[in-house]
Structure 1
C-alpha cells in the first residue's frame, strides 16, 4: 500500500513534468508565431509596394501631356514632391479599387456593400476603428477626399454613397 505523502509526491512530479512539457510546447509555438508574423509583415510590405506601383502607373497614364511653357498646377493628391506616389488617384474608367491604400479601399468596400447612404460614424466601426471623435473626423476627411477624386458621392451632406457612373459625364462625382 502506498502512503499518502508518496502518492502526493508522485502526482506532484507528474504535474511538474506536464508543466515542463507545456512550457516547451509554448516556446515552440511562440517561435512559430514570430516566424508567421515576419512572413505576414513581408507580404504586407510587398502588397503595399505593388499598390503604390499600380497607383503610380495609373497616375502616369492619367497625366496629360504638358506643352512647353505650361506650368502644371500642384497636384494635391500626391505625396511630397519627388515621391511620385498618388495616395488616392482620381477615379477613371478601368481603375479598380485595389489601387487605393488599404483604409480607403476598406471605406469604398463598406460603402459599396451598404444598402443606402452611410455617415462617417457608421463606417468607422465597420473598418475596425474605435468610434472616437478623432477616428470619425479622420474618416470623414477620407470620405471627402474619395468624393473629390470621384470614388464616392455625397448628394446629402454627411451621407456617402458609391459614385454613380454616368457615361456621358466627364466626372463620375455629382455634387
Structure 2
C-alpha cells in the first residue's frame, strides 16, 4: 500500500514532464525545419509592445550584476540565440549544456505548464524560456517576491526565436513557489 501511494503520487508528474520534453523536441525540430525551408531572409526581429520596443528601451540597474547561468539541452539551437540576446544586453552568461534538462527544471521547481527549452538562474531568480532581457532587468530592479519569470513554449519572435518578420503575441509570466502565476508583461496583438 505504501508503494502504491507513491506510485500514484509521482507517476503523473513524471509522465507530464516526459510529454513536455517530447513536445519541446517536436517544436525544436519543426522550428529548425521551418527556418531551413523558409525563403524569407533572416533578421533579428524586434519584439512588439504597445509602449516602447524592448530593444530601444534600456533599463538601468544600479550596481546589480547581470550574471546568468543557462542550462539547456545539447540539441537546442534556439537557446544559443537567447544567450546571444542576453550577452548583447550586458549579461555575463555561464552556459551549461546538459542532456538532463528536466532534472534542472525539477530542481528549480519550474511549473510544468510554464516549461520551455532552457532554464536560467539570474541572481537567485529562475528564468524559463525566451524571456526578453529587459523583463529580467525589470525583475532585478523591482525584486518582487516571486520564484521567477517564464515565456512558456517557444513563441516565434521572442529573443532567440526570430523567424523573419513573424512575431507571435506572447506573455511573460511570473510564478512563485506556491503555484501562483501572474502576467508580468505582454507583447504583440493583445498587449
TM over 0.5: no
User: Relative to total residues, which structure has the larger helix share, 1 or 2?
Assistant: 1
TM-score, with length taken from structure 2: 0.30
Q: Which has the larger radius of gyration?
A: 1
TM-score, with length taken from structure 1: 0.32
Which structure has more relative contact order (CA 8 Å, sep 6+)? It is: 2
